[in-house]
C-alpha cells in the first residue's frame, strides 16, 4: 500500500517534469495536472488522518513533496492568453491580482516545505497538517477559482 | 352636468384612495407585537453562538479578509454587488453609536424576523431575514445576547448605491408581500427530530436557499426549485444544486457532507471554493450533531436535476 501511493505520486510527478521539460503542454493542462497532484496528495493524507489507511511516513513525505513541487511550478502556468479554454476554472481575478495570487500559491508550497522539514509523525499530526493545508487551499480558491 | 362630473371624479378619487390605502396597509412595515419579546429571560449564549456561526453573520459583517478573532468584529463595510446595485453591509457590532449596541431586543428581533429596521423602515433582503424569519423570538434573544459579547467597532459603512426604483424602500413592501413568509420550504412528512433540526438550520438561520435556490425575474425564490442551484447572483460561475438529484453532490453520503462542512474537502479531496469557503469556515464551528442534522435534511429534500 505504502509502495503503491509513493509510486502513484512519484509517477504523476515524473510525468509532470517530463511534460514541462518538453514544454509541449498547454499551460491550462499543466496547471490542471498540478492541481490533480495536490488533490491526490491530500487524498493520501486524508486517508491516513481519517484512519482509513495506517500511518506511513514515506507516503506522508511523498504526498508533501507532491504538494511542494506542484505548487512551486503552479503560478507560472498562467501566461496572458490562457484565461479561457480547456475547461479552465481559473477566475479572472488571477490576472487582475497576480501578485496576491502568486503569494497564495507560494504560501501552500512553503507550508508543505515546513512540514517536510519535520514530517508529521503520527495520525494526529497528519490530521493537523491536513487542516492547515486545507485552509490554505480554500483561502485561495475563494477568490481565484471559478465553478462554471 | 357639472355636479355629475364632480361626483364621478369624487367617486374615482375615493376608489384610488381606497386602493392606495389598501396597498399601503398590505405593504407597510409590519413589526411583531411588542409582547413577543417579553419574558424571554436570560439568553443562552452557547445557543446564541451556534446561531451566529450557522447564520453566517461574519460572512458579510466582518471586515473583508478577516481571520482569527477578527471575524467576530461585526464592523460591516463589505460591498455586496447584485443586479439591483451595490449594498454596503452595515456595522452590527456592539458599538452603541456605529453598531447595534443601543438597540432593544424588539428592534433587533424585528430586523431579524420581519425585515423592519430600527426606524420602522423596510430592510433590503440582501440581509436574509427572508430565511431568518423561521427562527423564534427565543432564538433571537439567544443570538442577540451572544452578539452583545462581541467587540465594538466604530466603522461606518457608506450608504447603498442602488438604481431606481430599488432605491425606494417603500417598493420593498410590495416585494415582501409577494415573496416574504416564514412557512417551511419543503414538507418533510416526518417528525424525526434530527431532520427537523436540519430543516430549521438550513431553511432558517443557515439561509442556504438564498444562494442555492434560483430566483425569478423579481428576485423571489422559485419554490419548485428549492436548493436546485443556478447562476451565481454575485457574478460569474454557478451555484451548485445541493438536492439528492445533484450531479456534483447528489452521490455524497451524509458522512461526506459532514466531513466537507468540517474540513472543506470533498470526498475526492477537491477543496471548497468561491463564496462557500466563508460558509464552510463558519459551519466548521457547529457541533457534529448539528452538521449531521443538516446532512440528513439535504438528503431528504425533493430531488431536482
Instruction: List Cβ neighbours of B234 (8 Å cut-off, separation of 6 or more).
Output: B80, B81, B82, B275
* Contact between B238 and A147 using a beta-carbon 8 Å cutoff: yes
Residue A7 pLDDT greater than 70, yes or no: no
Closest approach of B206 to chain A, Cα-based (Å): 19
* Region B55-82 average pLDDT: 93
Beta carbons within 8 Å of B29's beta carbon, 6+ residues apart: B114, B115, B116, B120, B121, B122, B173
- What CATH code is carried by the domain that includes residue A34? 1.20.120.10
Shared domain check, B198 and B175? no
Task: With CB atoms and an 8 Å threshold, state whether B240 touches A147.
Answer: yes
CATH code for the domain in which residue B208 is found: 1.10.760
pLDDT category of residue A10 using cuts at 50, 70 and 90: low
Q: What CA–CA distance (Å, rounded) separates A96 from B180?
A: 39
Position B254 in a domain: yes
Q: What's the CA angle centered on B75, arms B72 and B77, to 5 degrees? A: 130
With contact defined as beta carbons under 8 Å apart, do A10 and A64 qualify?
Answer: no
pLDDT the model gives residue B199: 98
| Any domain includes B22 | no
More confident position, B146 or A25 = B146
B99 belongs to a structural domain:
yes
Residue B160: domain span: 34-179
Mean pLDDT, range B222-229, rounded to an integer: 95
Are residues B140 and B225 part of one domain? no
d(CA B284, CA B53): 9
Looking at the fold, whether B166 and B259 belong to one and the same domain comes out as: no
Statement to judge: residues B197 and B233 lie in one domain: yes
Final residue before a domain boundary, out of B179, B210, B240: B179
Complex ipTM > 0.90: no
Residues B252, B224, single domain; the answer is yes
Structural domain that includes position A109: 2-144
Residue A23 pLDDT greater than 60, yes or no: no
Partnered with residue A145 across adjacent β-strands are A90
B139 and B66 belong to one structural domain? yes
Q: Is B190 on the interface with A (CB under 8 A)?
A: no
Instruction: Using an 8 Å CB-CB cutoff, list chain B residues near A142.
Output: 273-275, 277-278
Whether residue B197 sits in one domain with residue B152: no
* Residue B238 near chain A (CB below 8 Å): yes
What local confidence, expressed as pLDDT, does residue B304 receive? 95
Residue A124 CA, chain-centre distance (Å), reads: 21
DSSP-derived 3-state class of residue B136: coil
- pLDDT for residue B239: 92
pLDDT at B295: 98
pLDDT band at A21 (very low <50, low <70, confident <90, very high): very low
Domain shared by B227 and B131, yes or no: no
Query: What domain count does chain A have?
Result: 1
The answer to whether residue B57 is domain-embedded is yes
Residue A1: band (very low, low, confident or very high) from pLDDT cuts 50, 70, 90: very low
Q: Please compute the mean of the pLDDT values over residues B78-95 and round it to a whole number.
A: 93
User: Which residues neighbour B222 within 8 Å (Cβ) at sequence distance 6 or greater?
Assistant: B213, B214, B215, B216
My answer on whether B173 and B87 are in the same domain is yes
Residues A81-132: tens digit of each pLDDT: 898 888 898 999 999 999 999 999 999 999 999 999 999 999 999 999 988 8
Q: Would you state the torsion angle of the CA atoms of residues B61, B64, B67, B69, taken in this order, to the nearest 10 degrees?
A: -40
The pLDDT value recorded for residue A15 is 53
The number of helix segments (H) and strand segments (E) in chain A equals 6, 0
Mean pLDDT of B232-239: 78
Same domain, B168 and B272: no
> What mean pLDDT do residues B24-39 have?
92
B2 — pLDDT class (breaks 50, 70, 90): low
B145, B179, B213 — which closes off a domain? Answer: B179
Average pLDDT (B107-117) is: 98
Q: What is the pLDDT of residue B3?
A: 64
Tell if the CB–CB gap between A138 and B275 is shorter than 8 Å.
Answer: no
* Cell numbers for B151: 467587540
| Cβ contact, residue pair A142, B275, below 8 Å | yes
Q: How far is CA A93 from the centre of its chain?
A: 20
What digits encode the pLDDT tens for the residues A45-84?
999 998 999 999 999 999 999 999 999 999 999 999 898 8
Chain A residues with CB-CB distance to B274 below 8 A: 141-142, 145-147
What local confidence, expressed as pLDDT, does residue B20 receive? 79
Q: Is the residue at B89 inside a domain?
A: yes
Q: Is B281–A138 a contact, with Cβ atoms under 8 angstroms apart?
A: yes
- pLDDT of the residue at B143: 98
Short-list A36, A49, A117, A45, CA closest to A77:
A36
Cα–Cα distances in angstroms (integers) from residue B3 to residues B6, B10, B14, B15, in the given order: 5, 10, 16, 18
Total number of domains in chain B: 2
pLDDT band at residue A6 under the 50/70/90 scheme:
low
CA dist., res. B196 & res. B101, Å (int): 33
Instruction: Based on the fold, state whether residues B168 and B269 are members of the same structural domain.
Output: no
Mutation target for B interface from A35, A134, A140: give the one with most B CBs within 10 A: A134
Do B248 and B132 share a domain, yes or no? no
Amino acid at each position: 500500500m505504502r509502495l503503491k501511493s509513493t509510486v502513484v505520486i512519484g509517477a504523476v510527478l515524473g510525468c509532470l517534469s517530463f511534460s514541462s521539460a518538453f514544454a509541449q503542454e498547454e499551460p491550462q493542462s499543466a496547471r490542471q495536472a498540478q492541481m490533480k497532484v495536490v488533490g491526490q496528495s491530500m487524498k493520501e493524507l486524508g486517508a491516513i488522518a481519517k484512519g482509513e489507511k495506517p500511518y506511513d511516513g514515506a507516503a506522508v513525505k511523498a504526498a508533501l513533496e507532491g504538494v511542494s513541487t506542484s505548487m512551486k511550478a503552479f503560478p507560472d502556468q498562467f501566461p496572458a492568453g490562457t484565461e479561457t479554454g480547456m475547461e479552465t476554472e481559473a477566475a479572472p481575478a488571477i490576472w487582475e491580482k497576480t501578485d496576491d495570487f502568486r503569494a497564495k500559491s507560494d504560501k501552500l508550497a512553503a507550508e508543505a516545505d515546513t512540514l517536510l522539514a519535520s514530517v508529521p509523525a503520527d495520525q494526529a499530526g497528519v490530521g493537523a497538517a491536513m487542516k492547515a493545508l486545507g485552509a490554505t487551499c480554500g483561502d485561495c480558491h475563494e477568490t481565484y477559482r471559478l465553478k462554471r | 352636468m357639472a355636479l355629475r362630473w364632480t361626483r364621478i371624479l369624487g367617486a374615482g378619487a375615493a376608489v384610488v384612495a381606497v386602493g392606495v390605502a389598501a396597498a399601503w396597509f398590505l405593504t407597510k412595515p409590519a413589526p411583531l407585537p411588542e409582547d413577543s419579546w417579553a419574558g424571554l429571560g436570560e439568553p443562552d449564549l452557547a445557543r446564541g453562538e451556534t446561531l451566529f456561526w450557522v447564520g453566517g453573520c461574519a460572512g458579510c459583517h466582518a471586515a473583508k479578509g478577516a481571520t482569527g478573532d477578527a471575524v467576530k468584529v461585526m464592523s460591516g463595510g463589505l460591498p455586496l454587488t447584485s443586479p439591483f446595485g451595490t449594498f454596503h453591509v452595515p456595522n452590527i457590532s456592539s458599538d452603541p453609536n456605529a453598531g447595534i449596541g443601543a438597540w432593544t431586543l424588539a428592534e433587533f428581533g424585528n430586523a431579524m424576523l420581519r425585515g423592519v429596521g430600527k426606524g420602522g423602515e423596510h430592510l433590503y433582503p440582501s440581509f436574509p431575514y427572508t430565511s431568518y424569519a423561521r427562527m423564534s423570538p427565543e432564538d433571537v434573544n439567544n443570538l442577540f445576547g451572544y452578539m452583545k459579547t462581541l467587540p465594538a467597532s466604530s466603522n461606518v459603512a457608506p450608504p447603498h448605491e442602488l438604481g431606481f426604483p430599488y432605491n425606494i424602500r417603500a417598493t420593498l413592501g410590495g416585494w415582501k408581500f409577494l415573496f416574504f413568509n416564514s412557512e417551511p420550504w419543503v414538507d418533510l412528512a416526518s417528525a424525526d427530530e434530527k431532520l427537523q433540526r436540519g430543516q430549521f438550520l438550513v431553511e432558517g438561520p443557515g439561509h442556504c436557499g438564498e444562494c442555492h435556490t434560483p430566483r425569478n425575474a423579481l428576485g423571489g425564490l422559485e419554490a419548485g426549485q428549492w436548493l436546485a442551484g443556478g447562476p451565481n447572483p454575485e457574478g460569474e460561475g454557478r451555484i451548485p444544486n445541493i438536492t439528492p438529484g445533484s450531479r456534483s453532490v447528489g452521490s455524497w453520503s451524509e458522512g461526506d457532507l459532514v466531513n466537507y462542512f468540517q474540513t472543506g474537502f470533498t470526498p475526492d479531496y477537491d477543496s471548497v471554493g468561491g463564496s462557500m469557503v466563508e460558509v464552510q469556515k463558519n459551519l466548521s464551528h457547529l457541533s457534529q450533531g448539528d452538521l449531521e442534522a443538516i446532512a440528513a435534511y439535504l438528503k431528504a429534500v425533493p430531488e431536482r436535476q
